[in-house]
Structures are given as structure tokens and as C-alpha cells.
Chain A
């Protein structure tokens, strides 16, 4: 059983479209992080959210942590081909240091 469920698994869109990726759990997380990963490379941190209801913006990317700290979303406005990659959400629980990852959403933005 996956503790963090990401949806959709795959997303193929045209340049300029908007999209939202979801990360859901039945468990509470003390923090949640979003990473983007290119093929053959390690994940690159995009954002960390810690407070229920928190919203963070990074240029065209908007991240939200659910009020109950069980879910999160990533919204991309006017997607560009450079946004193509694997988007991973990962959370920490309590005092545990290790990250629990979802399976990721593979995004492809076509020009």
C-alpha cells in the first residue's frame, strides 16, 4: 500500500495549458516536499510546506498543503516544454527524518 498516492501518473499536455497534480494520503505529515526529477538525475527540490493550508508560489508553480496536512497539490500555469519531468511529492512523519515518496507524476509538455 502506497502511503502517498499521486495522480495522475502520466500527463501529456500542450504548451500553454494549465495543470494540477495531486498528492493524497490518509496519514498526517509534518512536512511535505515537492521535487522534480529528470531522467538519470537525482530529484531537485522545488518547495517545502509545513503548515496546514499553506500556499507557496514559485513563478508559474503554486503549491498547497491541505488544512489537515494529509494532502497537497501542485498547479502549473501556462506550462512550458521545460516543465517536462517527473514530479515527486514526499513527506515526513513526526520525528522521522526519512522521506516517504509517492510514485510520481510524469509530465510531458509538447511545444
Chain B
């Protein structure tokens, strides 16, 4: 069990550029979550997948954000036309639906800085 991994760990980009982050969940975890955390706040839910199906999206997920989990394994989160307000830590978590409760394990996060 290697834990949840995220890549890259840090990303600096200029406003208006597109960025893509990757998350590899714990193997055999069929649920995958994306959260965003800004300074001084707890993480805020963005979206989650059960296998390859995207089951829920937060109102925080504007139309510039898109997430995919094409084969039910790794997931990508893309932000188009980045804005300075997108600067945050993007966290991925995974869990097993067979677990009661749905205990989520987090990756190390991707720190995004938009200049």
C-alpha cells in the first residue's frame, strides 16, 4: 500500500495558462476526491468519482475546471485560463465504498501559484 500520490508537488504558472494535475489513489480504492485548500482554511470539496463516474461537483468547480478519471484508476484535474484566485493547495483523497465509514486518505497535495 503505497498511499495516494500527486504530481507535480508544486506548480508556478502565469495567469491565463492552463495547468493539469494528476492523482494516483491507493490501489483498489474506487472512490477518488478532489479538494482545494487556501491559506488559513480547511480543505473544501471540489468533486468526486466512484470508479470512472463523476458523481458530484461542488459549486466551487467553475466551468474552467474539469476532472477526469478515464479508467477508474488515476485522475486528472485541469484548470483552464488560470486566475490568481486559483492559487491554492489541491488535494486528492481516496477511499473504498466497502469501508464503513467512508474513510478518506489524502495525498501530499499540489501547491499551485498563479502569478
Closest residue of chain B to A2, judged by CB? B42
- Contact pattern, B 6-23, Cβ under 8 Å of A = 1, otherwise 0: 100000000000000000
Pair A99/B41 contact, Cβ less than 8 Å: no
Question: B2 → chain A, closest Cβ, in Å?
Answer: 14
Q: CB-CB < 8 A to A42: which residues of B?
A: 4, 6, 91, 93, 106-109
The residue from B33, B42, B101, B108 contacting A88, defined by CB atoms under 8 A apart: B42
The interface-forming segment of A13-21, A33-41, A72-80 is A33-41
Question: B106 → chain A, closest Cβ, in Å?
Answer: 4
Interface residue ranges, A against B (CB under 8 Å): 4, 30-31, 33, 35, 40-45, 48, 50, 88, 90, 92, 96-104
Q: CB-CB < 8 A to A99: which residues of B?
A: 33, 35, 43, 45, 93, 104
A31 to B100 CA separation, bound complex (whole angstroms): 9
A42 to B9 CA separation, bound complex (whole angstroms): 11
A-side interface mostly: loop
Q: CB-CB < 8 A to A41: which residues of B?
A: 108-109
Q: How large is the interface on B (under 10, 10 to 19, 20 to 34, 35 or more residues)?
A: 20 to 34
The reply to whether the CB of B103 lies closer than 8 angstroms to some CB of chain A is yes
Q: CB-CB < 8 A to B93: which residues of A?
A: 42, 99
A88 to B108 CA separation, bound complex (whole angstroms): 15
The reply to whether the CB of B65 lies closer than 8 angstroms to some CB of chain A is no
The reply to whether the CB of B40 lies closer than 8 angstroms to some CB of chain A is yes
- Contact pattern, B 66-102, Cβ under 8 Å of A = 1, otherwise 0: 0000000000000000000000000101010000111
- Contact pattern, B 22-40, Cβ under 8 Å of A = 1, otherwise 0: 0000000001010100001
Assess A45 versus B103: contact at CB under 8 Å? Given A100-B45, A101-B43. yes
Q: CB-CB < 8 A to A35: which residues of B?
A: 106
A98 to B59 CA separation, bound complex (whole angstroms): 13
Closest residue of chain B to A42, judged by CB? B106
Pair A92/B101 contact, Cβ less than 8 Å: yes
Q: CB-CB < 8 A to A103: which residues of B?
A: 40-42
5 additional contacts (CB under 8 A) given A31-B101, A92-B102, A98-B58: A30-B101, A33-B104, A35-B106, A97-B55, A99-B33
